[in-house]
Chains A and B, each alone.
Chain A
Amino acid sequence: KAGVTQTPRYLIKTRGQQVTLSCSPISGHRSVSWYQQTPGQGLQFLFEYFSETQRNKGNFPGRFSGRQFSNSRSEMNVSTLELGDSALYLCASSRTSANYEQYFGPGTRLTVT
């Protein structure tokens, strides 16, 4: 069974730009969670989508948003990029909402210059 896929794998953007990252969950998984990982802050929860609805949100500014499509694929968007947004963005899928048995993708490495 194919794992979680994320595109693109690497991205370089300039301050002030916006970016959209994509995640395809494991077949049959209906929940997608997004995380930001940095050396200083570790793994931080951004939000979770289940059945096209955002179920929970972490402590991030409104510049970070997401959505989920009817096929469970998800996208996250970051607007007005700041240098501090440079991070590894990870997507994880699970069968149900708020399920901590999560399967992660390889991540998208975002560099903001």
Chain B
Amino acid sequence: DAKTTQPPSMDCAEGRAANLPCNHSTISGNEYVYWYRQIHSQGPQYIIHGLKNNETNEMASLIITEDRKSSTLILPHATLRDTAVYYCIVRVDLYSGGGADGLTFGKGTHLIIQP
């Protein structure tokens, strides 16, 4: 699976959009981009995933560049409860020829929402 690179930390003002970048320059054609977050002392939370088209759900939007070498997770109106570590992961699912080796998180980005 492709490696990902994220900034270690970011600040964002409450009510503003939080834009979290992720670099995955070695991504291959059948690898999806997944985003998770983990609030201190809680289990990780699935946010969104995508292959090549931009995706949006009730939590966030995922923008993937045309060459798929990077992506941005957007939290449109950040609140204090969005303070967490955000993880960008690249995975091939089983039905696309990948293995079933579970999720692994790197260091992620510690997003701090400022009041």
Residue numbers of A with Cβ under 8 A of B are 4, 33, 35, 42-46, 48, 55-56, 58, 90, 92, 97-107
Contact = CB atoms under 8 A, between A and B. Distances in A.
Contact of A97 (B32, B34, B100): B100
A98 B98 contact: yes
Interface of B: 32, 34, 42-46, 49, 89, 91, 93-95, 98-106
B32 to A, nearest CB: 7
28 contacts: A33-B102, A33-B103, A35-B102, A42-B104, A42-B105, A42-B106, A43-B103, A44-B104, A45-B102, A45-B103, A48-B102, A56-B102, A58-B102, A90-B44, A92-B43, A92-B44, A98-B94, A98-B98, A99-B93, A99-B94, A100-B34, A100-B49, A100-B89, A100-B103, A102-B46, A102-B103, A104-B43, A107-B43
A104 B45 contact: yes
A58 B94 contact: no
A101 B49 contact: yes
Contacts, number: 64
A56 B89 contact: no
Contacts of A92: 43-44, 103
Contacts of B91: 100
Given A43-B104, A100-B34, A56 B99 contact: yes
A88 to B, nearest CB: 8
Contacts of A56: 99-102
Contacts of A100: 32, 34, 49, 89, 91, 93, 103
